[in-house]
Amino acid sequence: MAILPIVEVPDARLRETAAPVPEVNDDIRAIVADMFETMYDAHGIGLAAVQVGIMQRIVVIDLQERELEEGEPREAARDPHAYINPEITWLSEETASYNEGCLSIPEQYAEVTRPTRCRVTWLDTEGARQEAEFDGLMSTCMQHEIDHLNGVLFIDHISRLKRGMLLKKLDKLRRG
Ligand SMILES: [Zn+2]
């Protein structure tokens, strides 16, 4: 396993469409393992393969929402899920807003409005077809990560004015 370098804006790879995974095999499972290691190291809750420069339709998510018992290490709350070739098959009309961030746009956050619920199909790490409906933070995170596979970033969902301000702040942060 390895921690991979995270691709950040304005890297052009973040604007490309990722290719479907033709077969779930050991190579793909190795990528998934590296993606989890990279995501945990960066304290993220979701990561798309394009964010580590792998142009394939792979997403990992772990909201790590379980409350820790006293003395339990942070790792005990881990609940890793991998989604290969995920596809949104339904979105609710009802919408909700979350303050979103992204490992490819460091330390910048903005309120993003998306459908509250989504239905998704995907392949698991054994190559079996899965389907589920998500709501709350999981729905938001899933839509955010699938956007990455299509070259879309959360800042595309906010106003041009807010996007400009956010990118300016990022520029300032990088220049120290
Ligand atoms: Zn992101």
The model's pLDDT over 115-165, given as tens digits with 9 standing for 90+, comes to: 999 999 999 999 999 999 999 999 999 999 999 999 999 999 999 999 999
Identify the band that residue 67 occupies on the pLDDT scale cut at 50, 70 and 90: confident
Question: How long is the chain?
Answer: 176
Instruction: Report pLDDT for 113.
Output: 98
Say how many Å lie between the CA of residue 138 and the centre of ligand 1: 13
Residue 2 falls inside a structural domain: no
pLDDT per position as a tens digit, 1-18: 899 999 999 999 999 999
Residue 1 falls inside a structural domain: no
Say how many Å lie between the CA of residue 51 and the centre of ligand 1: 8
Structure-block tokens of residue 44: 């993220």
Say how many Å lie between the CA of residue 80 and the centre of ligand 1: 17
Q: Report residues near ion ligand 1: CB below 5 Å.
A: 102
Say how many Å lie between the CA of residue 36 and the centre of ligand 1: 14
What does the alpha-carbon distance between residue 54 and residue 33 come to, in Å, rounded to a whole number? Answer: 13
Q: Kindly provide the b/e burial profile for residues 106-143, where b requires at least 16 CB atoms within 10 angstroms of the residue's own CB.
A: eebebebebbbbbbbebbebeeeeeeeebeeebbbbbb
> Which domain covers residue 41, as residue numbers?
12-175
Residue 52 falls inside a structural domain: yes
Residue 60 falls inside a structural domain: yes
Query: What is the CATH number for 57?
Result: 3.90.45.10
CA 15, distance to chain mean position in Å, is: 14
Mean residue pLDDT of the chain comes to 96
Annotated active-site positions, please?
Answer: 145
Residue 4 falls inside a structural domain: no
Instruction: Report pLDDT for 77.
Output: 85
Say how many Å lie between the CA of residue 158 and the centre of ligand 1: 14
- Structural domains of the chain, count: 1
Instruction: Report pLDDT for 169.
Output: 97
Residue 3 falls inside a structural domain: no
Q: Report the predicted TM-score, pTM, of the whole model to 2 decimal places.
A: 0.95
Residue 5 falls inside a structural domain: no
